Amino acid sequence: MIDFTLAQVLMVIPMAVLAIVLGLLYKGIDRRLAAQMQSRIGPPISQPFRDIKKLMFKENIVPKAAIPWLFNMMPVLALASSLILFMYVPVLGFPAILEGHGDLILIIYLLIVPSLALVIGGFSSGSRYATVGAQREMVNMISYEVPLAITVVSLAWLVSGAVPGLAAFSLGTLSFAPVWTTAGIIGTLGLALLLAVMIIVSTGEMGVIPFDTAEAETEIAAGLLAEYSGRNLALFYLADAVKIVVLGSLVIALFIPFGISGFFGLSGIAADGANALFYLLKLFIVMFLSSTFIRVAVPRLRITQVVKAYWGYTTLVALIGLLLIGVDVLLKVF
C-alpha cells in the first residue's frame, strides 16, 4: 500500500499549475527565439496562453467516423499522465513530490503514455491523415526508446559501481551521488556522449522538428491532431507543454542536479531561491538545445531517416558511452 503525506497531497495542484505555466511560457519563448533566429519578429511570448484561452471557448467537434468516448478520453489521459510524470522529477531544486514511490524504470514507462494517448486518439478519429500520423508516432516511440534505455542503464551502472548499496535507478540517488563526481576520465567522456544522446532523445520525445513526422503539417495536415479542435486540442497542447518541462527536468536530474547555493555560501530561504533560479536557467538551456536550436538548424526528416538516426547513429553513440562507463567501473574495481 502506498502512503502519501498531507503535504504531498496539498502540493499536487500548485505543482500542476507550475508545470502548465512553465510549459506554456517556454513555448512562447521558444517561438519568439526561433523567429529571431530566422530573422522574423515572431508572436508575443504570451501567445500560447492566448491560444489555450481561445481553444477552450471553441466548439469541440467529434468526427462522425470517430469512436466518441475514446476520441474524447485520450486528451485527458495525455494531460493527466504528463502531470503525473512531473510529480516524479525534482524541480526548482526541491525533491520530487512522489520521490520514493517510483524510480527511473517507472518514469520511462510513464513517458510512453502521452505518446500512446496521441496514437490511440489518432486511430479513434477515423481520419486517414491521423492514421498515418499514428503509425509514424509508433515508429518514433520504438526508435528513441532504445538509446533512452541504454542511457539510463549506463548511469545506473556507474552509480552502483561507485556507491554500492544505493538504489541505482533512483533520481534521489543521482542527486546524492551526481554522475560527474563518481566518474573517472574515461567515464566522463562516456557521460558527455550520453548527455548528447539524451538531448537528441528529448527532441524526439517532444515531437519537434526534425522528428515531427507524426504531425508534419505540409505532408499529412497535422496528422495525429488533424481532427481535434476546441477543448480536446487545448488539452493535447497543455500535455505537450508539460511534457517538455518534464523532459528538461529529467535531463537536469540525470546529469546536472547540482545547486548553486553552496558556491555562494547561502542558506535558508536565500539558498532555496538561488537554487530555484539556477534550476530555471538550466531548464532553459536544456530546452533551448533540445528544442529551439535543433528545430531551427535541422530540416524535417523522413520517417525512414528518423529510424536510422535513432537505431543507427544515436544508439551507436549510446553504446560507446555505455562501453566507456563500463571500462571506468572495471578500472575502479581492479
Phi/psi for 208 (5° steps) reads -100, 165
Q: Give the pLDDT confidence of 74-122 residue by residue, as tens digits.
A: 899 999 999 988 888 888 877 777 776 667 888 888 888 888 888 888 7
Phi/psi for 177 (5° steps) reads -130, 80
Q: From CA 319, how far away is CA 11, in angstroms rounded?
A: 39
Q: From CA 216, how far away is CA 196, in angstroms rounded?
A: 25
Q: Write the DSSP symbol of residue 59.
A: -
pTM above 0.85, yes or no: yes
Name the band, by pLDDT with cuts 50, 70 and 90, for residue 8.
Answer: low
Neighbouring-strand partners of residue 94: 91
Q: From CA 136, how far away is CA 130, in angstroms rounded?
A: 10
As a whole number of Å, the CA-based R_g of the chain is: 20
Mean pLDDT computed over 299-311:
79
The one-letter amino acid code at 212 reads: D
Q: Give the pLDDT confidence of 118-171 residue by residue, as tens digits.
A: 888 878 887 787 787 787 888 888 888 888 888 888 888 787 766 666 666 777
